[in-house]
Amino acid sequence: MRIRNRPRASGAIPDASMSDIAFLLLIFFLVTTTFEVQKGISYKLPKKPDEQTEEVVIDETNRLVMTVKQWGANEYVALIDQAPPDGPLQRARAGEDVSLQDTTLHSGIRILAADRAEELSACLDRLLNNLEVAKGVPSGTFRSLETAIASENLVPIVRPGIIRTFLGSETPLEEDPFFGEVAFGDTLVLSDIRQGDIASVVRESELVVILKFFPDCDYEGMIKALDVLRMNGVSRTGITIQERLGGGA
């Protein structure tokens, strides 16, 4: 009897349809994959002015304009281009530059800021709004600051500002039934015995200082000019770059 050999199974994997499978997978991933697009910095263009749009105009009596120039590696001077009338730092003649470290300049800025201190009632309204934000409650939850202090068991605290150090007994003070004597530049704090400080606000000034820098004034000069303003009670500032005309310094 003749014995036939049975065919043995081969270990090779058939790959005739692999190209079709790879093509289908490629189409699948192309269709389902999403790509993250870098949109850049989002911004909104200002609205077109109309009859209902009011232009913000700074009162001349509340505006101080200074041009800051660099005269050396670490030497910076300022020229008073415009100052509130009937007060210190009147408009100077061309070339009357003063060092940023000059005490007369600091004193003049400090007096202008103190004379235009924010109304205490407006400061207390901002403090109440900050308290509602800190508590996470809707605006208008507390009818008044007195209601908020009583209902939340808060402790009113006044932390004297740097202006009291400079002006001393000449610092204008206003009396408040909860905080006592409050001066311009002071920080009003609402504190909780357990949680500590809850909300605070600084009594600011209505004085607006516009700083104009020449392009060759370095970054350190800009920081020093802003520090001079902050140290003397100015919190509202604007910065512009002044183009240099002609060959003068």
* pLDDT, tens digit, 9 for 90 and up, residues 74-95: 889 898 888 888 778 876 665 6
72, exposed or middle or buried, with CB in 10 Å at 0-12, 13-18, 19+? exposed
* Encoded tokens for 160: 């004297």
Kindly list the domain boundaries of the chain, sorted by start residue.
Answer: 60-115+206-241, 120-202
pTM of the model: 0.64
Taking only Cα atoms into account, the Rg of the chain, rounded to an integer number of angstroms, comes to 33
The identity of residue 236, as a single letter, is: R
* pLDDT, tens digit, 9 for 90 and up, residues 99-153: 999 998 998 898 888 888 889 999 999 999 999 999 899 988 998 999 999 999 9
Residue (of 170, 161, 151, 162) closest to 123 by Cα position:
161
How many residues in total does the chain contain?
249
Q: How many CB atoms lie within 10 A of CB 227?
A: 11
d(CA 106, CA 101): 8
d(CA 163, CA 161): 5
Contact in structure between 116 and 63 (CB atoms under 8 Å): no
